Amino acid sequence: MNNSQAIFEIAISKIKGIGIKNASHILSKTDLKSFFEDNISINHEKTGISYSFLKKINFKRALELAEKELNELIKKKCAFSFFNNNDYPYRLKHCQDKPIILYHKGTSDFNAKKTVAIVGTRKASDEGCFLTKELISTLSKQNITIVSGLAYGIDIAAHKACLNYNTPTFAVMGHGFDYVYPACHKKELERIIDSGRIFSEHPPNIAPTKFFFAKRNRIIAGLADATIVMESNLKGGAMITANLANDYQKDVFAFPGNVFSSNYKGCNKLIQDNKAHLITNGYDFLSFMDWRQQRSSISSSIKNELSKDEMEVYNIIRRKKIISINEICTLSSIKESFINSILIFLELKGLVKAIPGKKIILN
């Protein structure tokens, strides 16, 4: 992209009153260069935008601001994507309320094959942080990129776990990149830039405000294939993100919790209202999404070591992906008293393993 085109793209985002809906309409009728260089009459004829609105636009000022901003972005090694271009994140592109400009900085692919938003309360419990770490420990083995908001509580627990497990992570910020909020997460932010990516709809020099943090939740939901709520009260950013993900027709999941705990009232409500699928670990999530990488077969040498009954149990587990011992007993022709011995043998061979909830998966 040449710099002049980039300036036009930034400039349209600087015009007050032109949001994503109007910007999309304008580009369906004319190109950006013409929009900024044609006179008011031609723009009115092409786009149908009223004379009164067009007369209020200071096109020259918008271009000046855009040129200055582009120079700053280059200097600070920040990039941006324009909503109508191919380099805009394709998941977010499908959201009607996407930002015109999305600023980003980092190394990882923002069109990763699998992305999951992990969100929750800023006042996370030790249990919630532990579950978040355990969840990411499981997801890290499946080449999944994690999206969150760098906030206190569940967000930073998710980012830290990703950094520990060498899992790419995206941090969506409610301000420009010149700021770090909260400031105590600066170290994690720098590591995310080195191995993942940070995002914002705001230019680098824009300071944090409360309203911006509520708005950025749509980007968290939009960048992900699915959203997982770890802990949340009935109100808060995590609930906003979950509801937005539902609006975008994306899958939402929630961990259930103590009905007397405010930290789980939101999660329990999402599940109760059928707005989230109940999960208790990462394997539940992978099974629902059908994301678990399966072995197509086992080596012939190991296969020859298995008896007919052992092979039958192995194949049942392979087909079902995640299964309880009771289900294995129901589906197999083997006496129930032998099933546990077979599972122990398969586990010793490294073919299967037990997970929380008394379930079995392939190893």
Q: What is the DSSP string of 83-119?
A: TTSTTS-HHHHT-TT--SEEEEEESS-TT-S-EEEEE
**DSSP E strands, the chain:** 79-82, 101-106, 115-119, 145-148, 169-172, 197-200, 226-229, 251-254, 277-278, 322-324, 352-355, 359-362
Nearest residue to 177 (alpha-carbon basis) of 97, 307, 69: 69
Q: In whole angstroms, give the CA distance from residue 29 to residue 31.
A: 7
Per-residue pLDDT, 295: 52
Which structure tokens are listed for 81? Answer: 């994507």
Per DSSP, 171 falls in state E
Q: Is the pLDDT of residue 1 over 80?
A: no
Strand partners, 229: 119, 254
In this predicted model, what pLDDT tens digit does every residue of 269-295 receive, in sequence order?
999 999 999 999 999 999 999 887 655
- Confidence at 262, pLDDT banded by 50, 70, 90: very high
Q: Which amino acid, one-letter code, is at 129?
A: C
Chain segment 41-80, per-residue pLDDT in tens: 999 999 999 999 999 999 999 999 999 999 999 999 999 9
The HSE-up count of residue 180 (CA atoms within 13 Å, CB side) is 11
Residue 183: DSSP 8-state: G
List of E strands, 208-294: 226-229, 251-254, 277-278
pTM > 0.85: no
Pairing of strands 145-148, 169-172: parallel
**CA separation for the pair 344, 354 (Å, rounded):** 10
